Amino acid sequence: MDDRRTSTAEQYARHQPRLPKKLIVCCDGTWLNRDNGWQAGSWGSPGKLQNPSNVTRIARAMTAEDSAKHPQIVFYQAGIGTGLGLYDQLLGGGTGMGLSENIREAYAFLGTNYSTEDGLSKPDSIFLIGFSRGAFTARSLGGFIAAIGILTKKAMPFFYECFADWEHAGDDDYTPRFIDAYCAAFPAEAATVKANQPADRLSHIRAERGIDKYMFAYRKHLLSLGLTQEVQIKCIGVWDTVGALGVPVNPFLQRLGLPSFIREYAWYDTRLSDVVESAFQALALDEHRAPYSPAVWELDEGSTTNLKQVWFPGAHSNVGGSFEDYGVANLTLSWMMDQMSGATRDATKPFEPLDWIMFDKEYVQRCLDWTARWYDEQPMRKVYKGWAMGKVYNSNTFPKSLAGATTRTPGLYRETDFATGKYKEEYLRKTNEYIHASVRVRMEQGGREVEPKSKIGVFFRKIWRTIAFQKQLNAYRPQRKGGVFHGAGPLHGWRLEAGDKTQHDQGAGTDESRRACWKYEGKLQPPGRLLREDVFAEKGFEEMYLRHGGKSEGEGKITFLESPSSAGKRISGSSGNAKTF
């Protein structure tokens, strides 16, 4: 009787459409753990629980299901260096050891839970999110999925061997393992499996195109055997990926001689593939640590990926979150939510719930309320509380400063050879970079310059500026020229243009000649390149934060201009024909 009931139930299930789900992988940054993170005290201050990063906050903001009842299943992964042992915390956090384990762990979650398309139902949707080295994990995971697909249940027991084949593609002294391991487990299939496998010589070609050619043949072979499945990644959303290839390796450690470790991670493929439908990255203008050079995406010729990369004021952890002052982090969080919820999509196309993530507005409101209450308790609340006015911290402090300092250069990064890790002569072109309106507003409203985070840092800066006869407090000037006591700003060589003196009436749908933009007039490459100012989504989370931030006391109120198009809005720090909040 039980067998008959089971058989009937199975037959019924096979004829019922399955409701597709969303699989969302959230990879946190170094030393960040939402569930067990502890921040040690310093300079007499007591320890406390970590401030949650934007990865933690965006994961908590996701609803259990969307408006169409599709489950939104979140896999949260703590950052490297969050283990209980000192070895893990120092070597994992300081060097990046553990990255491959994180990539494999996240992929195993997808391989276990992913359901492909069938005759009745659409496939599950995949979203990848990360900050800092978690961004590297998310991007590398995207590269592995693009190269291999999602292995079937039959092939998943040999996932480690498959991952190693991808990881070591192009190595002279490596022999691919997956096929041999699979054939050892299924000897009856060995002749068929080995018949059309990629030629061994292809696996040893180190050049970028050679690796791509080998991995294409590798995936094609697995597809022919029914061992993997082609998938689309709906979106990759990251905050400030660091390292020329997305590899956050400290150059100081590299000089000490760790070539084998560095090589283990340097050739993970973090490029964008056409299997990624949308990709968004929030970048920090004011990060100066040399190991934290940003990994800017570039689209291949003919790519169909919807890419947007936007520069915000602030250092690495300002943009990705984890400081108590969430003024900048709220900017990037609300921006990312607008991108990943579909608020900024092409409004002429129908909204498909499976393509986007649904967020809980009440949770976001609580985040904004918490930030407002925190500011109200600070003695300098009138200086920092306004929208885009949050404190920007100097991250390049001792002993991190021993690794060197550098200034970021939006719109001026060079191509990187995927196989060798070396910079090419050509500048990146199809990067779809924008400057966020908060940069201009911070300048117009007299926001503060980059400042020390610790009290001792503030003390020493005061002493130094007194000795050097410098002003104690300066305004935010990302366009500044270099001087005797300070370097050039990240936007040195770029001039802000708006089409008219008041910078009004700029928004989606307006004449591009009048839309706010930054024009390059420097010497590093031919002048004339433009970086547009990003445009707000209609009734999105950015507008929600702008209205909330406009409630700040007295000074620094922000004006919000109505767009002539329903596709978006832009903001202004000026007075005029605008709404003030």
> pLDDT of the chain along its 581 residues, tens only?
455 556 666 665 666 788 999 999 999 975 555 555 555 555 555 666 779 999 999 999 999 999 999 999 999 998 764 443 434 434 444 444 578 899 999 999 999 999 999 888 999 999 999 998 899 999 999 999 999 999 999 999 999 999 999 989 988 889 999 999 999 999 999 999 999 899 888 888 877 788 889 999 999 999 999 999 999 999 999 999 987 555 555 555 544 444 444 445 554 666 799 999 999 999 999 999 988 889 999 999 999 999 999 999 999 999 999 889 999 999 999 999 999 999 999 888 899 999 999 999 999 999 999 999 999 998 888 888 889 999 999 988 877 777 788 999 999 998 877 656 667 788 898 999 999 999 999 999 889 888 877 777 777 677 876 776 677 678 899 999 887 667 899 999 999 987 443 333 444 444 555 678 999 999 887 778 899 999 888 889 999 999 885 544 333 333 344 443 444 565 655 433 333 33
Residues 334, 337, 341, 345: is their CA dihedral positive or negative? positive
**Using omega within 30 degrees of 0 as the cis cutoff, is the peptide bond preceding 452 cis?**
no
The whole-number pLDDT of residue 222 equals 97
The whole-number pLDDT of residue 123 equals 97
- Over its C-alpha atoms, the chain yields an Rg (Å, rounded) of 25
Written as six digits, the tokens of 8 are 């009937």
Where helices occur in 29-98 by DSSP H, the ranges are: 54-61, 86-87, 93-95
Pairing verdict, β 433-435 and 530-533:
parallel
Residues paired with residue 395 on neighbouring β-strands, in sequence order = none
**CB environment 96-117: b (16+ within 10 A), e (fewer):** bbbbbebbbbbbbebbeebeee
Can you say how many angstroms the Cα of residue 379 is from the centroid of all Cα atoms in its chain?
33
Name every residue whose Cβ is closer than 8 Å to that of residue 291 and which is 6 or more positions away in sequence: 242, 243, 248, 249, 250, 251, 252, 403, 404
Are 507 and 569 in contact, with CB atoms under 8 Å apart?
A: yes
Q: What is the DSSP letter of 439?
A: H
Block residue for tokens 């100081």: 252
Q: What is the pTM of this model?
A: 0.87
Number of Cβ within a 10 Å radius of residue 455: 12
Packing angle of the helix pair 54-61, 327-340 (nearest 10 deg): 50
Packing angle of the helix pair 327-340, 361-376 (nearest 10 deg): 170
- What is the distance between the terminal CA atoms of the chain, rounded to a whole angstrom? 69
